[in-house]
Structure 1
Amino acid sequence: MKRFFSEILSIVISIVIALGIFWVTKTYFFYQIEVDGDSMYPTMQDGERYILNVQGDIDRFDIVVFPAPDGSNAQYVKRVIGVPGDEIEYRDNQLYVNGQAVEEEYLNALEAANPGQKVTPDFTLDEITGEHTVPEGEYFVLGDNRPVSKDGRYFGFIDEETIDGTTNLRIWPFSKFGRIQSEN
């Protein structure tokens, strides 16, 4: 009987340790996310799964995950376009960061599929947020599928503290396993 309780205790301890390791890993390192919707198409597609890195710095053009600003339980996946101190402007399908034209290669497929059309309507940060530059501790994000994305053009900046992490490693479907482009 003593051996039986010893075996049960051993199993319980193993399960508690495994759950502890899982919790620490998910909270402090990484976990899996699933894309829901078309706002990041063609870079990311509905139903694909990615590893979210909860550590590290956030740079311009990183893909980030954060709670939907509308208070729903949804998670948004968007691309960082403006970091603190950046002045952002779109004019004639061209991104300007701090007055310099910046290429967005991840938009090439969308622009090719819509020749002669504005994929991203013209705007400045002033027009959208009333701010001339991205404030400290905030980020400006856009979806790659600009015609359908509900992004910073609608809800303004996102607070650095609300960002769950960055992602660029696709794990499903397995046939597309690997890194996706996140920087220019």
Structure 2
Amino acid sequence: MDLSVLLGSFSSLRPPQATYSYSSQKPFKCGFCGSHYKRGDVLRRHWKSCSARIHAGQTIPGPRIGGKERHACDVCARLKKSCDGGKPCLECATRRKDCTYLRLQESGGSPRNQHTPSPTLNKLQPEPINPIPDVALPTWDLGLQPYYPNHQTRLKARALRDGIQSDG
């Protein structure tokens, strides 16, 4: 069988990431002299000897810091829980813990919703109990539900069924 038949519609045997290094694209541009490079590490190496940068007296730009911005409180970070950034956050309010952001103050980060109560915490506040049922409010019809009487009620029912009167 012919190899071209086995490959079908594949235009190249190289994986997509390998084709990038063979292309003519140079997306990394030196902001000092305008030179283009295929890779970021080559651009950083170029900055060390870039005459335009040296003549301008500019310093080499610092590395780009990746990763996610920190926003979790100390408790959520220690427990590796999702934190909503409130003061207190939902997790700390539920666990009745002091909600602090000391680790963020040390590193320069900030909580998402700084100095605001947790938006989900407001939903947990008990609603006032309405002693009089409102007929306009919809109710759930759960149908016939099983009833499991307590021990005293079962004894009374058995006594009534057997024709024995009990006082109580």
| TM-score > 0.5, shorter chain as reference | no
- Greater RCO (Cα-Cα under 8 Å, separation 6 or more): 1
Query: Larger Rg: 1 or 2?
Result: 2
Give the TM-score range, shorter chain.
under 0.3
Q: Scaled by the length of structure 2, what TM-score is found?
A: 0.22
Higher strand share: 1
